[in-house]
Structure 1
Amino acid sequence: MKQYLITGIDYTDAGALDRRMAARPAHLEGVKKLKENGNFILGGAHLSSEDKMIGSTMVMQFEQEADLQNYLDQEPYILQKVWEQVEVKPFKVAQV
């Protein structure tokens, strides 16, 4: 499987954190399914100096790029305008 580093940077408007919190249950439910399918490796939230969530990083793996695109097309944080910027880079988890 090909591995990817996915970084989402949240919008910074006054309603950004509220949108994140509203979308979070659907996002986590999707991540749970991705983990069960072997696609999710690890992930977490970027925090501000005030410990507020302001972005995300995930390491994922998919058989085909079409599967990655399918995930991105359904990601609640994208659909519900939580992530303003999304960067996807090829990645390789170290095997130690």
Structure 2
Amino acid sequence: MLFAFLCTDKPGHLNLRMETRPTHLEHLNKLNEAGSLKFAGPFLDDDGKPNGSLVVVDAQDMAAARALAEADPYYLAGLFEKVEVKAWNWTINKPAE
């Protein structure tokens, strides 16, 4: 089942995001290698600077999805003001299985 992580950065925490980015990307690459990560990328503010994240993963259930979200180095560093984990259905432009 697919789950979307809608993550909002705390205001004024761009430096923390940039400092944590290498370990965050390493974490996402491991999820990708395991086949769990479907896609990911930052939300951008009006100046084009990252201010949140969208991550979509394949997980067994909500508990497993939340565990993945809470293992992200950005989450562990306290970057996020809010993280929503929602079940998601890929309907349009879904890659061939």
Matching residue of 1:3: 2
Matching residue of 2:68: 71
Shift of 1:43: 1.1
- Which residues of 2 match residues 31-42 of structure 1 at below 5 A? 31-42=28-39
Is the 2:5–2:69 contact (alpha carbons within 8 Å) kept by the matching residues of 1? no
Shift of 1:73: 2.9
Shift of 1:72: 2.5
Query: Residues of 2 paired with 1:31 and 1:50: CA distance?
Result: 25
- TM-score, reference length from structure 1: 0.87
Matching residue of 1:54: 51
**Does 2:14 match 1:17?**
yes
Count of residue pairs brought into register by the alignment: 93
Secondary structure (helix, strand or coil) at the match of 1:49 reads coil
Shift of 1:65: 3.5
Secondary structure (helix, strand or coil) at the match of 2:17 reads helix
Shift of 1:5: 1.1
Q: Percent identity?
A: 30
Gaps of 5+ in 1: none
User: What's the Cα RMSD here?
Assistant: 1.4
Matching residue of 1:81: 78
Secondary structure (helix, strand or coil) at the match of 1:88 reads strand
Query: Residues of 1 paired with 2:83 and 2:66: CA distance?
Result: 12
Distance 1:43 1:54, change over 3 A: same
- TM-score, reference length from structure 2: 0.87
Supply the AA of the counterpart residue of 1:7: L
